[in-house]
Amino acid sequence: MDFTEPERVAAVRHTIREFVTRELLPLEGELRRRGFKAMRPALDEKRRRARETGLWAAHIPVAHGGAGLTLLEFAHVSEELGRSPVGHWVFNCQAPDVGNMEILMEHGTDAQKERFLHPLVRGEIRSCFAMTEPEFPGSNPTWLGTTARRDGGDWVIRGHKWFTTGAEGAAFAICMAVTHPDAESPHARASMIIVPAGTPGFEIMGNLSIMGERGGDWASHAEVMFHDARVPADNLLGGEGAGFVLAQERLGPGRIHHCMRWIGICERAFETMCHHAATRELAPGKPLGTRGMVQQWIAESRAEIHAARLMVLHAAWKIQTEGAYAAREEISLIKFTVARTLQRVLDRAIQVLGGLGMTDDTPLAYWYAHERAARIYDGSDEVHLETVAKRILRQYGIKTPGTR
């Protein structure tokens, strides 16, 4: 792997950094006070300006309306956008839409692309992804209670989902449901089906309260029900029984996006910590940064962020050159490594800022609350740790069930 930053990547990083600094950071105070939903008019205007940069939906090929960056190139963009809580949304590469765009682009029919993908890339609509269920462990996508049965030319979906991010205001959901309960392989039992908003029986029960906040619009996580929701058979995405495979395809690049976003948060927290250490005086002429413990936290954070970034870029390079399946170990490694790095850096930054770090005068407290889930979603730390260890131990003759 060549670690030299190409001129194109350097130019893109500069453009994104300038935009985030100029257009988004000044909005953060009001955004934290009023919430995402109330700020939509101002954020929509920022979206209009983001289009003018030529980096709109940067992860999508030019032929489909994006900027055509490779996964490795987009990783750098994701880091820069991660410096703001709304960076990805403003440039139309936010979760869950980014993953939905990718699987629609790769597996959607021409009709599905025309109706769902193209307006999604243009930013005219939003989407959501309904897989996690309250009754079953979210880390096991082969064990679901939601079912979809064929009835003539339709699929009839019944089930209960939660943590359906951005369901409020979404134009459609991609629902993962069991269509073949008797399939020999548990990985061939579920399918993905597109469910348009407004479909009778598709009901948003409400937004979950996350760390004391329900949010709204895209910045929300909903509980949804499918009460015999009926959609045409043509809404099947990627073939019957392909749900697990599509989920893994979606999550591989998705973990690159998330991990680089977390590194962007780390960098912003690191800069905040260093600035405070250099300017906050414990006594006249004695900045906080003269304390050995603070210096240790700064050095440890710098080393951990740097190491995490290199790990993620290597994983992105391997996915790009060899495919997601070949990089499955690297994908697991970055998932728990970067999530833990994020928690440590945020915690140190808050500790250095003291009482100020607990307030909403900086984004630290927001991230501390909202990014704790990084160690849970897309497979908990413990699942990835066990998976990696099992693969390694197989080389030493220790065989354990469930290792792929």
State the pLDDT at residue 403. Answer: 52
Beta-bridge partners for 28:
none
Domain 7-94 has CATH 1.10.540.10: yes
Report the distance separating Cα 179 and Cα 147, nearest Å: 6
Span 206-248, pLDDT tens digits: 999 999 999 999 999 999 999 999 999 999 999 999 999 999 8
For strand 202-207 and strand 154-165, is the pairing parallel, antiparallel, or unpaired?
Answer: unpaired
pLDDT of residue 55: 97
Asked if the domains 7-94 and 127-237 are classified in one and the same CATH topology, the answer is no
**Residue type (1 letter), 145:** G
Q: Select the CATH number that applies to the domain covering 127-237 from these four: 3.30.2450.30, 3.40.30.10, 2.40.110.10, 3.40.50.300.
A: 2.40.110.10
Positive or negative torsion for Cα 212, 218, 221, 227: positive
Burial class (CB in 10 A: 0-12, 13-18, 19+), 40: middle
* Beta bridge partner(s), residue 226: 159, 202
Query: Positive or negative, the Cα torsion across 392, 397, 400, 402?
Result: positive
| Half-sphere exposure of residue 380: CA atoms within 13 angstroms, side-chain side | 9
Q: So where are the chain's domains?
A: 7-94, 127-237, 245-394
Q: Give dist(CA 377, CA 371) in Å, integer.
A: 10
The pTM score is 0.94
* CA–CA distances in Å: residue 66 to residues 75, 119, 121, 160, 310: 15, 12, 7, 34, 26
Phi/psi of residue 254, nearest 5 degrees: -60, -35
Supply 108's token pair. 């959607």
For residue 252 the two structure tokens come to: 């591989």
- Quote the CA–CA distance of 379 and 335 in Å, as a whole number: 8
Residues 6+ apart with CB under 8 A from 226: 146, 157, 158, 159, 160, 161, 175, 177, 195, 201, 202, 203
Closest CA to 126 of 25, 270, 241, 222: 222
* Helix-strand-coil split of the chain, %, nearest 5: 55, 15, 30
- Residues 276, 212, 34: CA angle, nearest 5 degrees: 70
Residues of the chain with pLDDT under 70: 401-404
| pLDDT tens readout for residues 38-61 | 999 999 999 999 999 999 999 999
Q: How many CB atoms lie within 10 A of CB 30?
A: 12
Which of 1.20.140.10, 1.10.10.10, 2.40.50.100, 1.20.1260.10 would CATH assign to domain 245-394?
Answer: 1.20.140.10
Q: For strand 221-232 and strand 147-151, is the pairing parallel, antiparallel, or unpaired?
A: unpaired
Neighbours of 10 (CB within 10 A): 11
Q: How far apart are CA 95 and CA 106, in angstroms?
A: 17
